[in-house]
Amino acid sequence: MKFPAEPFRIKVVEPIAMTSENERRRLIEQAGYNIFLLPAASIIIDLLTDSGTSAMSDNQWAGMMLGDESYAGSKNYYHFEDTVRDIFGFKNVIPTHQGRVAENLLFSTILKEGDVVPNNIHFDTTRANVEYHKAIALDCVVDEAMDPDSMLPFKGNMDLRKLQKAIDEYGPERIPMIMLTITNNSGGGQPVSMENIRAVSALARKYHIPFFFDACRFAENCYFIKEREEGYRDKSVKEIARELFSYGDGCTMSAKKDGLVNIGGFLAMNDDTLAQEITNMLILIEGFRTYGGLAGRDLEAIARGLKEVLDEDYLRFRVKQTQYLGEMLIDRGIPIIKPVGGHAVYIDAKHFLPHIPQSEFPGQALVVELYQRAGIRTVEIGSLMFGHKNPETEQDEFPELELVRLAIPRRVYTSMHMQYVADSLGAIYQDRQKIKGYKIVYQPKFLRHFTVRLEPLSRNI
Ligand code: PM9
């Protein structure tokens, strides 16, 4: 069989409200054509994000009942700490309530104005956290990452020449840290190879620059290494993870992805002095070091989730379900980023809607159309998320890739749900000439996609 069946049975169900197209048209207009401002109850299939949307297992729910809610020293914290140490291998483990707080604590402790943080591609919260400290978030991913048709097996790899150039140009003293996002979310959920990780680590060590992972989807990345990289087929995903993290000095983690939970995150690192400084900040903004903004029961669910996510039957299904959706879209002629990544299928909106210029947000136009017609919520990763005015030239600048991401929550939707998504997109693709662009009527100063408001352009194309 090409695609495995779901390796779980469904014991609890959450009904989906089947809203009408008219109702959805009214709701999206009220939401300023911003899908973040929609009531979730109006959505049939929610592919906005794979973050915090996982279905927990019976084992995790059972663990929730064993929550020790002591202010300090909860037994769940020790289980969580042991589990993180066992998989990630870092000495100090600092819980946070989600990934961006881990980023914020790390960057506010080590960054100063004018510093540079290279990464394959910074995710939007990572970039915003770096830039908030007036530092430069530098993307050094391989060029192939920008070519939707390149079939490179590790399209999330760091381009070592770009990294070396950054070190030469800025000097190691301006680079307090090198990061690597596994898998590379903003570049299509593409994995990074062990070979590349080893090389980045060697370069970082040569210049005494700390090397951190953005580890949100580490298990999916390790599964790709097992499947695609020579020498790893007979290793367990856990062994691969242990080796991978041994090349780094620490990581930030949103457990809302490969922790298989609805809330939680952590920072882990070997440096005791840095960990102490961050823990002092943690107490100020999140809470004591044995809970970091989480309940004891949440820590228990993360500890159990981190063990479950390494199950290879689960990972095989996870990666293949995403691939199944991707292949159904390819069969319908829809342009997507290839090869299909781990947690999401990314539609190439520039080629889906070539008649809409990036200044009129083709990715967002497709997102809105898909919600209106089929009740499917997705997210734009393109001109709306990353477009900005260059302060020197006053010109609008747009990212190279204009994507619509179909992120698949873990253990939530069946293959028939995927079929519905593929058929709906197939029907929209047939009528794509009728879709129009949008203009912005309100935007905040940063992370504009969360609260932006838009209006459809009335002109017919
Ligand atoms: N990622 C995602 O949908 C959720 C937020 S935006 C709707 O992909 C990486 C690689 C991420 C990420 C979140 C975070 C932040 C850091 N790095 O959401 O703060 O993909 O837990 O994690 C989202 P938190």
Q: How confident is the model at residue 460 (pLDDT cuts 50, 70, 90)?
A: very low
Ordered strands of the 344-348 beta sheet: 344-348, 403-407, 379-381
Helix (H) or strand (E) holding 3: none
Other beta carbons within 10 Å of 52: 16
Residues β-bridged to residue 139: 119
Ligand 1 atom nearest 181 alpha carbon: 10
Per-residue b or e along 331-348, where b marks 16 or more CB atoms closer than 10 Å to that residue's CB: eeebbbbbbbbbbbbbbb
Domains 21-50+311-456 and 58-308 share a fold: no
Asked if residue 335 has pLDDT above 80, the reply is yes
Q: How far apart are CA 65 and CA 67, in angstroms?
A: 6
pLDDT at 461: 43
The Å distance, Cα 167 to ligand 1 centre, comes to: 27
Helix (H) or strand (E) holding 85: helix 75-88
Q: How far apart are CA 133 and CA 108, in angstroms?
A: 7
pLDDT at 389: 84
Q: How far apart are CA 102 and CA 107, in angstroms?
A: 9
For the Cβ of 79 lying below 6 angstroms from any atom of ligand 1, the answer is no
User: Domain residue spans in the chain?
Assistant: 21-50+311-456, 58-308
CA 225 vs CA 87, 188, 294, 315: distances in Å: 16, 16, 32, 12
Q: For residue range 340-350, what is the model confidence (pLDDT) as tens digits? A: 999 999 999 99
Residues β-bridged to residue 136: 116
Other beta carbons within 10 Å of 230: 8
Distance of CA 370 to the CA centre of its chain: 21
For the Cβ of 377 lying below 6 angstroms from any atom of ligand 1, the answer is no
Q: For residue range 203-231, what is the model confidence (pLDDT) as tens digits? A: 999 999 999 999 999 999 999 999 999 99
pLDDT at 458: 75
Asked if residue 386 has pLDDT above 50, the reply is yes
Domain 21-50+311-456, classified CATH 3.90.1150.10, yes or no: yes
Asked if residue 419 has pLDDT above 70, the reply is yes
Span 58-308: which CATH code? Answer: 3.40.640.10
Ligand 1 atom nearest 217 alpha carbon: 10
Q: Which of 37, 192, 254, 451 to mutate to test the pocket of ligand 1 (most atoms within 8 A of CB)?
A: 254
Q: For residue range 125-168, what is the model confidence (pLDDT) as tens digits? A: 899 899 999 999 999 999 999 998 999 999 999 999 999 999 99
DSSP letter for 2, please: -
pLDDT at 186: 87
Q: How confident is the model at residue 390 (pLDDT cuts 50, 70, 90)?
A: confident
Kindly give the pairing relationship between strand 403-407 and strand 379-381: antiparallel
Q: What's the chain's length in residues?
A: 461
CA 142 vs CA 101, 120, 187, 192, 432: distances in Å: 28, 8, 10, 10, 32
Other beta carbons within 10 Å of 235: 17
Residue showing tokens 């779980």: 8
**What's the rounded mean pLDDT across residues 59-67?**
98
Q: Which two tokens stand for residue 405?
A: 């991401």
Which residues, including other chains, have CB under 8 Å from residue 417's CB and lie 6 or more apart?
Answer: 45
The Å distance, Cα 50 to ligand 1 centre, comes to: 9
**3-class secondary structure, 407:** strand
Q: What percent of the chain lies above the pLDDT cut of 70?
A: 99
**What's the rounded mean pLDDT across residues 170-199?**
96
For the Cβ of 378 lying below 6 angstroms from any atom of ligand 1, the answer is no
Q: How far apart are CA 151 and CA 249, in angstroms?
A: 31
pLDDT at 459: 55
Q: Which of 46, 51, 367 to mutate to test the pocket of ligand 1 (most atoms within 8 A of CB)?
A: 51
DSSP letter for 359, please: G
